[in-house]
C-alpha cells in the first residue's frame, strides 16, 4: 500500500464531483485527498486524487474513472517525475512563552505568518506531504487550535 | 413546439415504436405531446413493469428500450429495472419528469433527487436545467445507451422545460454539440499473434462466451467459425446462452454455479482460458484468488469494457474489444500454416463427461405428480422445438432449471435477469420481449414467488394480446431460498414457504386471460397443447414437487471442481 497521485482532466459538468466521489465509495477505493480547480481550458477542471493502494487497485481506479463520460484524461503521476504540493493553514495558541518557538519552527519550514492576534498566530505553509507532517509534528506540543489542508495537487515535471 | 413535443419528435425520429411508461403530474405536458403525435406509448401497470418491459424489448431487438415515468415515486419505481439493466448491459433510455426548475430542491410535491438516486445504477444521467441543452442531451443519451458497453441512461426533465416554447430549427443546430473525447482502444488486430501463440502451446484450452457475444451484432457467426476452425471447446455463461446451438459437438453447456460438470471441469482444469464478453462474476468463479493461484493457466480476456479486465481475474493477455470485432479479426489474422495445439484427449475426456451428464439429465424428465420442474421445461421445449421461441425466466430455482433444460435456438432468445437476479423481472420482460418480436412464441417460466411481485402486468398482457405463454412453476415456496436453507441452514425454512398462494387460474381469468391447471403430466401435456393452439396469451399453473433441488451446484465461494452432481461419480 502506498499513495498514488492521479491527475484527472474533466469536463465541468454538474454533479461530476458526486459521480467521482460515488465511484470511490461504492468500489471501496481508499481516497486520501481530492483537490479540484479550473484547468487551462475553459469548461474543464483538473483534479488531483491521492489514492492509497497497490498497483492493481490503481489500475482499476484508472479504468473505472475512465468510464465516466466527463473524464477526459487520466495520468498516474510517477513520484520522482512530478511535483506535489499541499497548502496548510494552521492557527496556533500563542502565549508569550510559546510565541518565539512557533516563529522559529515557522522560519525553518519557510512558513508565512498570515494572521496574528494577542493570543494566536496563523501560519501558512506549502510542501510535500512529509514536510507538512513534520511541521505539524513539531507544532503539536505548542498548542494547535485549528488545521486546514487543501489536499495535494501535483503536476508532472517536464 | 414545446419541450415535450421536442422529446416526442426526437423519439419518433429515432424510430421508437414502443415506449413503456406511466403518466403523472409533472409529465402531463409530455403525455399531451404523446396524445397529439399519436406516439406509440404502452401503459404498464407499474413503473417497474415499464423498466423490465423495456429491458425485454431491448434484449430481443438490440435496440434501446424506452421508458417514460413521472417525477418522485414514478422515477424511484424505475430504480430496480435500471439497476438490472446496468448489470446486464441493457440499453435503456429513461425519460423522467421533474418538478419545475424554480421548485428544485425545495422538497416540492413528488420531488426526489432522481439523478442522485440513479447515479450508481445508470451508465450516465442528466438533469436538464437549460432548454437549449434538451436536444443535445437527448442525442448524447441515445448514443450512450448502445455505444461501447450498452447500459441504461436517464434524462430527467423539469416540467417547466417541457412546457417552454422551443424553436425546432435552433434546437436542431445545437443537436450534436456535445463532444466527448474517448481514448483509443487496444484492438484485436495488434494482439492476434499472441492469441495464436498461446493456443499453439495449449493442451487444454477453453473458450468462454459471455453475454457480450450475444450483445455484439453478428458476434456469434464468427464465434462458431472460430471454434470450428480450431476444434476449440466452448462454454457459455448464463448471459451467453444462445451464442452457439445446444447440440453443437464443441459446446459444453453453461458453466458456473449451476453449470454442467463438463463445462466446470474444463474451467477448473484448462491451461488456457479465452474469455470473451464476460466479467467473471462470482457465479462463474466463486473464489477468484484461489482460482488464480492454482494451476498453470494462460488467461486471455476480451471485453469492450476495459474496467472489467483485471477487475476479478488478472489476465495474461488483455484485449479491449467487442466480441464481434474480436472474432472477425482473429479469424482474419489466422496464420496460413497454422497448426493449433494437440488437445484431442482433452476433448474426448470432456465429451465423455458430457455423455454421462446427458444420461443423468434424461433421467430427470420423469412424469410424476406433483410435477418435476425439469419435466415441465422439457415438455414445453419439446413442443416448441424448431420454432425458435423466446424463452423468458424470472429468478430462482426455475430460472436455473430453464437454463439447464431448455435448449435455446438463437442469440437474443434467452431473456433472464442475470447480474441483479431481480424477482418480478419475468412477466413484464416477457411482454416487452414479445412486443419486439410478436410473430414468435414467447414462453415465460416464473415462480409462484416472483410472479406475485409484478402480477399486475397481466392487465397489460391482456390488453396487448401478445402470444406470451406463462408457466407458473408453483412449488409453494421460494425454491432457491428453500434449497439453501435445506443445504446450509439445517432445514430451517425461515420465511420461504408461501402457504397461501392464490388460485392462479382464477387470477388469469380475472384478467381475461385463458388458463388451466396442471397437477400432473396428463394435465400438463394437454395444457401445453391448448396454450400453443390459443392465439395470444395463456397461463398454465403447474403444481410442482417442492423438494426438487437444482443440481449441479457449486456452493458459493467454492471452486469449479467442488461441483455437486448426484450420480456423477468422477
- Residue B314 CB-half CA count within 13 A: 11
Give the domain-ending residue among A20, A47, A77.
A77
Of B144, B180, B306, which is closest to A63 when you measure between CB atoms?
Answer: B306
Count the domains in chain A. Answer: 2
Identify the pLDDT of residue B104.
93
Domain boundary among B325, B352, B379: B352
Kindly indicate the confidence band of residue A153, based on its pLDDT and cuts at 50, 70 and 90. very high
CA-to-CA distance for A41 and A46, rounded, in angstroms? 10
Domain end among A44, A77, A110: A77
Clarify whether residues A33 and A92 are in a common domain.
no
CB contact under 8 A, B144 and A72: no
Residue B176's pLDDT is 62
- In contact, B534 and B540? CB cutoff 8 Å: no
d(CA B431, CA B339): 48
Mean pLDDT, residues A129-134 taken together: 94
| Cβ atoms < 10 Å from Cβ of B240 | 29
Q: Examine the domain organization and report whether A12 and A73 are in the same domain.
A: yes
Residue B418 in grid coordinates: 442475470
B14 and B117 share a domain? yes
- Please indicate, yes or no, if residue B180 is contained in any of the structural domains: no
Over residues A68-77, mean pLDDT: 91
Domain membership of residue A139 as a residue range: 83-156
Q: Look up the ipTM and state it.
A: 0.88
How far is the C-alpha of B224 from the C-alpha of B243, rounded, in Å? 8
Phi first, then psi: what are they for B511, rounded to 5°?
Answer: -95, 10
What pLDDT score was predicted for residue B218? Answer: 86
Do A71 and A129 have their domain in common?
no
pLDDT at res. A33: 93
CB contact under 8 Å between A56 and B309, yes or no, is no
Annotate B473-511 with DSSP letters as a single string: EE-SB-HHHHHHHHHHSTT--TT-B-TT---HHHHHHHT
Predicted pLDDT of residue B186: 63
The predicted model gives A42-46 an average pLDDT of 94
Q: What is the pLDDT of residue B181?
A: 45
Distance of CA B90 to the CA centre of its chain: 8
Which of A77, A107, A137 is the C-terminal boundary of a domain?
A77
- The catalytic residue positions of B are 47, 109-110, 159, 480
Residue B399's domain comprises: 369-543
Q: Is the bond preceding residue B98 a cis peptide, omega within 30 degrees?
A: no
Rounded Cα distance, B330 and B225, in Å? 11
pLDDT in tens, B272-294: 999 999 999 999 999 999 999 98
Nearest to A19 among B119, B127, B180 (CB): B119
Contacts A22 to B, Cβ<8 Å: 119-120
Beta-carbon count within 10 A of A75 CB? 16
Which residue does chain B place closest to A22, by CA atoms? Answer: B120
The CATH number assigned to the domain holding A96 equals: 3.30.70.1150
Under-50 pLDDT residues of chain B: 179, 181
Residues B217 and B298 in one domain: yes
Specify the pLDDT at position B214. 97
The per-type count for chain A, helices as H runs and strands as E runs, is: 4, 9
Residue A103 pLDDT level (bands cut at 50, 70, 90): very high
CB of A55 less than 8 A from some CB of B: no
Query: Are residues B141 and B61 part of one domain?
Result: yes
Amino acid at each position: 500500500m502506498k499513495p498514488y497521485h492521479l491527475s484527472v482532466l474533466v469536463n465541468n459538468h454538474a454533479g461530476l464531483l458526486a459521480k467521482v466521489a460515488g465511484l470511490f465509495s461504492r468500489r471501496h477505493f481508499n481516497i486520501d485527498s481530492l483537490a479540484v480547480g479550473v484547468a487551462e481550458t475553459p469548461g474543464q477542471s483538473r483534479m488531483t486524487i491521492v489514492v492509497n493502494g497497490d498497483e492493481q487497485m490503481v489500475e482499476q481506479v484508472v479504468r473505472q474513472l475512465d468510464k465516466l463520460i466527463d473524464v477526459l484524461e487520466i495520468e498516474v503521476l510517477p513520484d520522482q517525475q512530478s511535483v506535489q504540493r499541499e497548502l496548510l493553514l494552521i492557527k496556533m495558541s500563542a502565549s508569550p512563552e510559546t510565541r518565539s518557538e512557533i516563529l522559529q519552527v515557522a522560519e525553518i519550514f519557510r512558513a508565512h505568518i498570515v494572521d496574528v492576534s494577542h493570543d494566536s498566530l496563523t501560519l501558512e505553509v506549502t510542501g510535500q506531504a512529509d514536510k507538512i507532517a513534520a511541521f505539524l509534528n513539531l507544532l503539536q506540543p505548542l498548542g494547535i487550535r485549528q488545521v486546514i489542508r487543501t489536499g495535494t495537487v501535483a503536476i508532472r515535471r517536464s | 413546439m414545446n419541450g415535450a413535443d421536442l422529446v416526442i419528435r426526437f423519439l419518433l425520429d429515432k424510430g421508437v415504436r414502443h415506449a413503456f411508461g406511466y403518466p403523472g403530474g409533472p409529465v402531463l405536458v409530455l403525455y399531451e405531446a404523446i396524445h397529439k403525435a399519436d406516439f406509440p406509448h404502452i401503459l404498464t401497470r407499474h413503473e417497474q413493469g415499464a423498466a423490465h418491459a423495456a429491458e425485454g424489448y431491448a434484449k430481443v431487438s438490440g435496440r434501446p428500450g424506452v421508458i417514460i415515468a413521472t417525477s418522485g415515486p414514478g422515477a424511484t419505481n424505475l430504480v430496480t429495472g435500471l439497476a438490472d439493466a446496468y448489470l446486464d448491459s441493457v440499453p435503456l433510455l429513461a425519460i423522467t419528469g421533474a418538478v419545475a426548475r424554480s421548485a428544485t430542491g425545495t422538497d416540492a410535491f413528488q420531488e426526489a433527487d432522481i439523478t442522485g438516486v440513479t447515479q450508481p445504477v445508470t451508465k450516465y444521467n442528466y438533469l436538464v436545467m437549460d432548454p437549449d441543452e434538451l436536444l443535445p442531451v437527448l442525442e448524447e443519451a441515445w448514443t450512450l445507451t448502445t455505444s461501447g458497453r450498452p447500459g441504461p441512461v436517464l434524462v430527467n426533465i423539469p416540467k417547466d422545460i417541457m412546457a417552454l416554447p422551443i424553436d425546432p430549427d435552433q434546437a436542431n443546430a445545437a443537436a450534436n454539440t456535445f463532444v466527448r473525447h474517448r481514448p483509443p482502444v487496444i484492438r484485436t488486430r495488434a494482439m492476434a499473434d499472441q492469441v495464436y501463440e498461446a493456443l499453439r502451446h495449449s493442451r487444454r484450452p477453453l473458450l468462454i462466451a459471455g453475454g457480450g457475444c450475444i450483445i455484439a451484432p453478428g458476434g456469434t457467426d464468427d464465434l462458431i467459425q472460430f471454434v470450428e476452425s480450431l476444434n476449440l471447446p466452448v462454454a457459455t455463461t448464463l448471459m451467453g446462452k444462445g451464442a452457439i446451438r445446444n447440440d453443437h459437438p464443441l459446446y459444453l453447456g453453461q458453466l458456473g454455479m449451476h453449470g454442467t460438470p463438463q463445462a466446470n471441469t474444463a474451467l477448473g482444469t484448462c491451461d488456457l482460458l479465452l474469455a470473451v464478453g464476460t466479467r467473471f462474476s462470482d457465479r462463474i468463479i466463486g473464489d477468484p484468488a484461489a482460482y488464480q493461484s492454482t494451476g498453470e493457466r494462460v488467461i486471455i480476456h476480451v471485453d469492450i469494457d476495459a474496467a472489467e479486465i483485471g477487475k476479478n481475474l488478472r489476465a495474461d493477455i488483455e484485449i479491449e474489444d467487442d466480441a464481434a470485432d474480436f472474432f472477425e479479426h482473429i479469424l482474419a489474422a489466422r496464420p496460413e500454416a497454422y497448426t493449433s495445439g494437440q488437445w484431442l484427449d482433452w476433448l474426448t475426456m470432456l465429451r465423455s463427461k458430457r455423455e454421462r451428464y446427458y444420461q443423468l439429465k434424461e433421467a430427470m424428465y420423469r412424469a410424476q405428480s406433483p410435477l418435476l420442474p425439469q419435466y415441465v421445461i422439457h415438455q414445453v421445449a419439446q413442443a416448441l422445438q424448431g420454432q425458435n421461441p423466446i424463452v423468458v425466466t424470472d429468478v430462482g430455482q426455475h430460472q436455473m432449471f430453464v437454463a439447464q433444460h431448455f435448449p435455446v435456438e438463437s442469440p437474443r432468445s434467452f431473456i433472464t435477469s442475470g447480474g441483479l437476479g431481480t424477482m418480478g423481472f419475468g412477466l413484464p420482460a416477457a411482454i416487452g420481449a414479445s412486443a419486439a418480436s410478436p410473430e414468435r412464441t414467447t414462453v415465460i417460466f416464473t415462480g409462484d414467488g416472483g410472479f406475485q411481485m409484478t402480477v399486475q402486468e397481466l392487465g397489460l398482457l391482456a390488453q396487448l394480446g401478445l402470444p406470451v405463454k406463462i408457466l407458473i412453476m408453483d412449488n409453494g415456496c421460494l425454491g432457491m431460498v428453500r434449497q439453501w436453507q435445506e443445504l446450509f441452514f439445517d432445514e430451517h425454512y425461515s420465511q420461504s414457504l408461501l402457504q397461501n398462494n392464490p388460485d392462479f387460474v382464477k387470477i388469469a381469468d380475472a384478467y381475461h386471460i385463458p388458463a388451466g391447471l396442471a397437477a400432473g403430466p396428463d394435465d400438463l401435456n394437454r395444457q401445453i397443447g391448448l396454450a400453443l393452439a390459443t392465439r395470444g396469451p395463456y397461463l398454465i399453473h403447474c403444481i410442482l414437487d417442492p423438494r426438487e433441488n437444482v443440481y449441479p451446484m457449486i456452493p458459493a465461494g467454492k471452486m469449479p471442481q467442488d461441483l455437486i452432481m448426484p450420480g456423477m461419480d468422477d
